Structure 1
Amino acid sequence: MKKIQIDAIEMISLMILFELGTSMMSIPGRDAGKDAWLAILIATGLGALLFLCYGSLHRRYPNLLMTQYSKVIMGRKAGAVIAFLYIVFFMYGGARDLRDTGTLIADRTLPHTPLIIISALMIALVMYVMHLGLEVAGRTAIWLLVFMLVLGLATNVMLVLSGIVDWGNLLPIAQHGWQPIWQVIYSQALMLPFGEMVTFTMILPTLKKDYRANGVGVSAVLLGGIILTIVALVNVLSLGEDVFQRATYPILSTISKVEISDFIDRVDVIGVMTVIIFDFFKIFIFYYAAIKAAEDVFNTSSRKLLLPFGIIMLISSVLMAQSYQEHIKIGDFVLKYIFPIFSVLFPLLLLMVSWFKKTENKKGKENAS
């Protein structure tokens, strides 16, 4: 079977689309108010450092998935438990983003269509792209990212021409001190989306060997973080702190304000389309990671897992919360207490044990000689 390989630009495109995903919809760090952009900017730097941990593990085991080198590092039984937990983590992440996307579409474009129908169509498309393969997704990601960036630039120009950008909404910076900003960085801005980048430990082995994972990953984290910072900044400048914090979808509230001389208005459809495209790729990456992890853990073909995992993700997305408010409340708890276990604790544990074992082996060889 031909080995799947993608180049740096495809990997970076997938990573950036994954980062922006639901982050474009919710804007992490909104509890910091008008300083949300600053929280995201700082979290971007911390996210780059966090990815160095993932990249270092990949450098030590370049041909292995994270679920595979977990068993090498921790032993077969403990490693298998960690690998199984990551299957649940990836499935939950994908189901959660599927619920976000379905709710957005139901609220903004198809209010009379049941949520499960919308989500079923989305997961069916994800399963189809999974069937086509990661290489197809990577090539598609390049073109869609370029299209989204051009569209975003045009939208920002229209916002400026509309006269709704007010730099006074930004000042004073850090009005309430730095403590609220640091709290938001920990509870929201770091884990969403940078902690979720641990998902790419299941994809890095497909990166062509001519490229370094740390360079590719850190570049993507920084580029995605800067884009997200700009998005948060534009939202604050256009909406003001109060509306920015209260809006369900700040980016849509901002874009809906675009109006230029009765010639251009009602362009909020651009925002809906943008969020849906970003969310699709995020769901796909979570789904892909879950399939590859299960393929390793259960020693079965990924083809046999496509439909069952799609159905599980669909049903989970619908049943995980009774309302959108409950969905957000659960998400806040998960981001603060559950995600750090998978994004920080387990990777650091694997890296430290791996380093300790390598050091012990090196001392053993020296003593033997």
Structure 2
Amino acid sequence: MKKYALNNITLLQYIMINFGMAVSFGFIELPALMATEAGTDGWISIVIGGLVTMLASLVVIRLMKRFPEGTIFDMLAHYMGKWAGRAAAFLFALYFLLYAYDGLIYTVRLIKGRLLPETPAFLLALMLMLPTYTIARNGLRIVGRYAEFAVLISIWIPFVYLYTVDNLHPLYLMPVLKEGWQPILSAVPGTFFYFLGFVSSVILYPFLNHQKHAPAGLLIANGITMLSYLFITLLCFMFLSPDEAKLIHQPSIYVLKSIELSFIEQVEGLFIAFYAFIFSLAWIPPLYFAVFCTTWIRGKQEHRPHLRGIVILFAASTYFYLPTYDELENISQLLGASGIAIEYVFPGCMLVFLWIYVRLRKGRNET
């Protein structure tokens, strides 16, 4: 019997967790970043960044195929000893906590700034943390089901943007490569931050019902993420002039102000309210992964005590201190640098190490 068989997830849940973690606030922020870094050619940077991420995600899956019965921590403990597994679990716990904190504070800031300006940040964080604990305490299977629900209930959002078709100007995209390849390539590293989350497969892989479908599942998740970013970026670039796209913060929300529906006054308010389900995938799965790491270090199965402590800490911290947008930007930069090291670099290094380790051991056995 598999070690993690009692909490298996389906392929669809696997896809939705990875997709939700990546697309959460990238859908809001990425068009403005690409307009600033590469102008209206920024959509090409997204394609390149998406393809690089797909390649990196396949490296993660190739790594996990070396030890399909366990997580990356079990693998390290098996090959290098328990100290290596615990050290990796500790680093991943810190990374997932930073990931969750960044997503939570961004959401609190957005809701407070756009919907509930008079509501204290502490109350907003508390309202978000209560359902977070309810979902995450019941294990990965429930987290996977919630990810399915969050994405499916938000699937109407892209169709709302079709109401802006009459205001789009495709000529804003012309000419392609107007400033050459240099701005496009220089903007590619900035896209990696908005594709982070696929390293969760180092924990999710042994829980997956049909592991042979893991490569396809991760490619689908990254592909949907890339298409979502392309959709909203191209739409914003065609709605706003090249100069406006560089000046307007959160253009994905700004575009919605042009939509008038007879049955609702502010479409952007409804968008933020429903998109909060997607935002929640930026902290609910990472929080679960963080407590999974901490309980693995202690060799325990019960993760709820750790989860309660972190949830209370996150909510209480906003009462005493709420990062400003500039400070949140610094946190995001730290997360981006950490994410590139952990998600893009570490799996490849680990795969090379295992290849060398197996070759050396085979050589010793032959002698």
Change in 2 beyond 3 A, CA 1:96/1:143: closer
| 2:174 aligned partner | 171
Q: Where in structure 2 are the equivalents of 1:244-255 lying within 5 Å?
A: 244-255=245-256
| Stretch of structure 1 that moved more, 11-20 or 202-211 | 202-211
2:48 pairs with 1:42: yes
Per-residue deviation at 1:42? 1.2
Spell out the pairing of 1:72-151 with structure 2 (5 A cutoff): 72-151=78-157
* 1:218 partner letter: L
Offset, 1:278: 1.1
Amino acid at match of 1:230: F
* Structure 1 residues 334 and 16: alpha-carbon distance in aligned structure 2, compared to 1, 3 A threshold: closer
The amino acid across from 2:12 in the alignment is I
User: Structure 1 residues 240 and 265 mapped into 2: Cα distance closer, same or farther (>3 Å)?
Assistant: farther
Question: Helix, strand or coil: the match of 2:9?
Answer: coil
* TM-superposed deviation, 1:317: 6.5
Distance in 2, matches of 1:62 and 1:246, equals 48
TM-score, normalization: structure 2? 0.90
- Work out the percentage of aligned pairs sharing the same amino acid: 20
Distance of 1:331 and 1:88 partners within structure 2? 14
CA distance in 2 between partners of 1:10 and 1:277 (Å): 15
Deviation at residue 321 of structure 1 after TM alignment: 6.4
Structure 2 residue 219 is the aligned partner of structure 1 residue 214:
no
Alignment partner of 1:36: what SS? helix
Partner of 1:67: 73
Match of 1:27 in 2: 30
Question: In 1, distance between residues paired with 2:157 and 2:174?
Answer: 28
Q: How far apart, CA to CA, are the structure 1 residues paired with 2:8 and 2:176? A: 45
Q: CA RMSD in A?
A: 2.4
- With over 3 angstroms needed to count, the CA separation of the structure-2 counterparts of 1:280 and 1:330, relative to structure 1, is closer
Which is worse superposed, 353-362 or 280-289? Answer: 353-362
8 Å contact kept, 1:99–1:318: no
Looking at structure 2, the residues matched to 288 and 269 of structure 1 have their Cα atoms a distance apart, in angstroms, of 29
Number of residue pairs the alignment of both structures matches: 360
Deviation at 1:138, TM superposition (A): 2.2
Shift of 1:60: 1.0
Distance 2:312 2:260 in 1: 42
Q: Pairwise mapping of residues 46-61 of structure 1 onto structure 2 (< 5 A)? A: 46-61=52-67
**Counterpart Cα distance in 2 of 1:244 and 1:318:** 35
Alignment of 1:1-369 (within 5 A): 3-27=6-30, 29-30=33-34, 31-153=37-159, 155-160=160-165, 163-186=166-189, 188-193=190-195, 195-209=196-210, 211-259=212-260, 266-300=266-300, 301-314=302-315, 322-335=323-336, 337-365=337-365, 367=366
Q: Which moved more, 1:133-142 or 1:200-209?
A: 133-142
In 2, the alpha carbon distance for the partners of 1:87 and 1:117 equals 26
CA distance in 2, matches of 1:114, 1:39: 38
Q: Which runs of 5+ in 1 are unaligned?
A: none
Give SS of 1:203's match: helix
Distance 2:270 2:352 in 1: 45
What TM-score results when the alignment is normalised by the length of structure 1?
A: 0.89
Residues 43 and 189 in structure 1, CA contact (< 8 A), matched pair in contact too = yes
1:51/1:218 contact within 8 Å kept: yes
Tell me whether 286-295 or 205-214 shows the greater mean CA deviation. 205-214
Alignment gaps of 5+ in structure 2: none
